[in-house]
Structure 1
Amino acid sequence: MAPHTRARVREVIDRLGYRPDPVARALASGHGDVIELVVVDDATVFGSSPYYGRVTAGILQELAGTNSQLSVHVVEKPDAAALLTRIADTVSAGVVLVNVAPALAAEFHARCERVVAMSPSAPGVPFVGVENAEGAYAAMVHLHETGRKRIAALHGQEGNPCAEGRRKGHQRAVRDLGIPDVAAAGKFRREAGYELTQRLLAEEPELDAIFVACDLMATGAMQALADAGRRIPEDVAVVGFDDSVIAACSTPPMSSVHQPVEQMAAAATRALVRRQVAPHWQRVFPAELRVRRSSAA
């Protein structure tokens, strides 16, 4: 390109405020792949939930030092199918799915095998996950062994694979321990934890422990207990699930089942970048209960 032509192009670029897209540049040059992260949720929730930040961090950790790029798509349910259709036609290294309904994940997988879901999904769809049922079971046993008699559980919404797994662990503990099945369900949101705990306290005045299937929901439960004048753990013990940063930063620090989200996201990314994903590929991580003051004996 002649010097005067280059100068003219630069002038136009500066006037338009153009900035190159590193993802598009990597693809055009053939020097990099793109991992597409597709999250089906409200954008506000994406920005406030520790889980999504941990997924993103795990992917970026795996891509560090490579020519691969991350492209993030946050979409609400009505628009998810159209987005995935577009991505299926242009996919590069692969796609990581979060909160995508199993039926939609299966439809996408039929068109593009380079995909990993961040939880169990439709049969055949590759996924990474955690021992949800085992983690929930350990939380319930811990509460029972510390002398709690009236243990409730707050579950996530129906249809969510993680919520379903944790519900199964709670129900198995109810059967094995011979304790009442006291439970309520709602979305994995702080507001839901608050409202459901208020309802449980009204219905179960003898409640002395709560297992909450999500740390974010558990913070709402702890606030509801505080507003009701219930001390944690003296009056009501609390155990969450995820072991996100908010668990250690709660007052008192919250016991929680550790879910290695960053490692899970990194494993999904690594398998996609190395072209190791095939139908039925999966990797399940152990769940470990980490006890803090919110459920101390």
Structure 2
Amino acid sequence: MADVAAEAGVSKAAVSRVINDAPGVSPQTREHVRQVIARLGYRPDPVARALASGHGDVVELIVVDDAAVFGNSPYYGRVTAGILQELAGTNAQLRVHVVEKPDTAALLDRIAATVSLGVILINVTPALAAEFYARCDRVVSMGPSAPGIPFVDVENADGAYAAIRHLHESGRRRIAALHGQAGNPCADGRREGHRRAVRDLGLPDISVIGKFRREAGYDMTRRLLGEEPELDAIFAGCDLMATGAMQALADAGRRVPQDVAVVGFDDSVIAACSTPPMSSVQQPVELMAAAATRALVERRPDPYWRCVFPAALQVRGSSAPVVSLR
């Protein structure tokens, strides 16, 4: 810090304020100090910071999404639980940052200068993730990101394939898919598995694209019912979408599973609590988040490190076979 202060021609207190994003420094000085930090390659010593502050190391969780969605999504809660389970019994802490897309670059820039134990990324674009990784190599992404960035994932394509095959084997022939947004690596993998399944099974490709939201699942299902009146099954890219689909089916007078079978993806708590209980592809989110955290705790996963979990289908009442209903 003294070297940065001397090079920038400011006090160590000013450097500290810049590093901690504290007030008391003009925008011009703040930018100048950040440029000096970048040029010198300065990184705060996590051990020294821990001793000075009385706190342990920190894992930063960066989520690019709306704060309201973060609070309502089972996925984010499971990620947080997995990280905390892995950190239990250590002196490390978890710090969560929920940020919208326009503010992501500024947040990453600030964290790159102060990172301690490491960073877990969710929904950060590959371009921004690659730029961040060039400055800070203590990073793991939840889902694939830019080439070379360590990540954890689940076999999304295989899970989607298993869901479509199950629906086909249970007697369904007009199977629609509710996909997540294009460019999302999880959604892209599940879309790939769906397309491979309908090709192998000789089924029509009936699909729509939206966000991983309950409201999107509802709206897309309503639209599909108008366009595909013979629809007899739905595979949804996440459980939230699937619950929206089930509500839309109920509002349209379609019974689940008698008229339309439904399979989700995640196997979150809402799957087992649905009526009827929802079939869903298991995604071990807590284990995935724990693996990402463990890689950081064990210090700097190698470039191209990855940890991919298998996806298994949990069959419940929402996709009972047609033959058993007649």
**Structure-2 residue corresponding to 1:150:** 174
Asked if 1:56 is matched to 2:73, the reply is no
Asked whether the 8 Å contact 1:26–1:67 carries over to 2, the reply is no
Shift of 1:110: 1.0
**Structure-2 residue corresponding to 1:163:** 187
TM-score (norm 1): 0.90
**Structure-2 residue corresponding to 1:185:** 209
Match of 2:125 among 87, 101, 113: 101
1:205-230 deviation line (CA, Å, top 9, x unaligned): 00000000100111100000000000
Query: Does the C-alpha gap of structure 1 residues 36 and 258 become closer, same or farther in structure 2, counting only changes over 3 Å?
Result: same
Which letter does structure 1 place at the counterpart of 2:286?
A: E
Asked whether the 8 Å contact 2:138–2:300 carries over to 1, the reply is no
Which letter does structure 2 place at the counterpart of 1:55?
A: V
TM-score (norm 2): 0.82
CA distance in 2, matches of 1:202, 1:33: 54
Query: Does the C-alpha gap of structure 1 residues 144 and 93 become closer, same or farther in structure 2, counting only changes over 3 Å?
Result: same
Q: Secondary structure at the match of 1:149?
A: coil
Which letter does structure 1 place at the counterpart of 2:156?
A: N
Which letter does structure 2 place at the counterpart of 1:111?
A: R
5+ long unaligned stretches in structure 1: 1-23
Asked whether the 8 Å contact 2:162–2:313 carries over to 1, the reply is yes
Shift of 1:31: 5.9
Shift of 1:28: 2.7
How many residues were matched structurally? 274
Share of identical aligned residues, percent? 80
Which letter does structure 2 place at the counterpart of 1:202?
A: G
Asked whether the 8 Å contact 1:27–1:33 carries over to 2, the reply is no
Match of 1:80 among 84, 101, 104: 104
**Structure-2 residue corresponding to 1:243:** 267
CA distance in 1, matches of 2:265, 2:51: 39
Asked if 1:255 is matched to 2:279, the reply is yes
Q: Secondary structure at the match of 2:241?
A: helix
CA distance in 2, matches of 1:26, 1:88: 17
Which letter does structure 1 place at the counterpart of 2:184?
A: N
Match of 2:89 among 40, 44, 65: 65
Asked whether the 8 Å contact 1:121–1:127 carries over to 2, the reply is yes
Which letter does structure 2 place at the counterpart of 1:190?
A: R
CA distance in 1, matches of 2:53, 2:113: 19
Asked if 1:227 is matched to 2:251, the reply is yes
Shift of 1:27: 5.9
CA distance in 2, matches of 1:25, 1:293: 53
Shift of 1:29: 4.6
Query: Does the C-alpha gap of structure 1 residues 25 and 113 become closer, same or farther in structure 2, counting only changes over 3 Å?
Result: closer
Runs of 4+ in structure 1 displaced over 3 angstroms?
24-27
Asked if 1:284 is matched to 2:284, the reply is no
